[in-house]
Amino acid sequence: MPDTDPAGPLAEQRLVESRLVEQRVVPVIEETAVVYKERVVTERVRLHKRVHADQETLDIPVQVEAIEVERVAIGAWVEAPPAIRQEDDTTVYPVVEEVLVVEKRLRLVEEVRVTRRQSTRHHREAVVLRREEIAVEREVPSHEADAGEPKIGDPKIGEPATAGRNEDPTA
């Protein structure tokens, strides 16, 4: 038979609420992992820079150019000044003068001949050339030197753990 009680749904709701009140709520806890990174000094490196000076002898070809000047007397009469001309390695520069005669004429007095001569000789010179050299010195921090065992991530795994060696920087 259907429930015709007008207070029926309300009564059901109160019944459900009373059951909830009687029940205990248990909180559910979830754990999560939090990862932090920390920089740890595993070793120190010291660099020593040395400059070496080596003396070397260089053989360099040096080109030398000398000019010879030769004056050649001509004494010929010309109508117009001659042009500058080239004869092999020699450049000829004509020199003229005006001479007063009953009539005016040009007389070639001389030619100046300029000859270029090239020669190559070797010049030796001692020069100082410098070069640099860097020495690397590794130091293990004191807390790892005491441990005596390599750690994960240590670049020296597989090698015996040793304390840092000290080199004389002047050597």
Share of the chain above pLDDT 70, in %: 69
Residue 125 pairs in a beta bridge with 58
For residue 102, what are the CA distances in angstroms to 80, 109, 147?
18, 19, 121
Tell me what the pLDDT averaged over the chain comes to: 77
Report the DSSP pairing between strands 105-139 and 90-99: antiparallel
Sheet holding 44-78, edge to edge: 44-78, 105-139, 90-99, 85-87
Average of per-residue pLDDT across 108-135: 88
Higher pLDDT, 47 or 165: 47
SS3 state of residue 35: coil
Burial of 72-84, coded b for 16+ CB within 10 Å and e otherwise, reads eeeeeeeeeebee
- Please give the pLDDT value at position 93: 94
Residue 66 pairs in a beta bridge with 117
> Quick check: 169 pLDDT over 50?
no
Average of per-residue pLDDT across 142-157: 53
- pTM exceeds 0.85 for this model: no
- Please give the pLDDT value at position 165: 44
> Quick check: 137 pLDDT over 90?
no
> Quick check: 8 pLDDT over 80?
no
pLDDT (tens digit per residue) in 49-86: 998 999 999 899 999 988 999 999 998 989 999 999 99
Cβ atoms of 103 and 135 closer than 8 Å: no
Q: Where are the domains of the chain?
A: 63-121
Q: What share of the chain is helix, strand, coil (3-state, %, to 5)?
A: 10, 50, 40
Closest among 137, 93, 89, 136 to 113, alpha carbons compared: 93
Q: Best-predicted range by mean pLDDT among 8-12, 21-25, 59-63, 152-156?
A: 59-63
- Please give the pLDDT value at position 17: 64
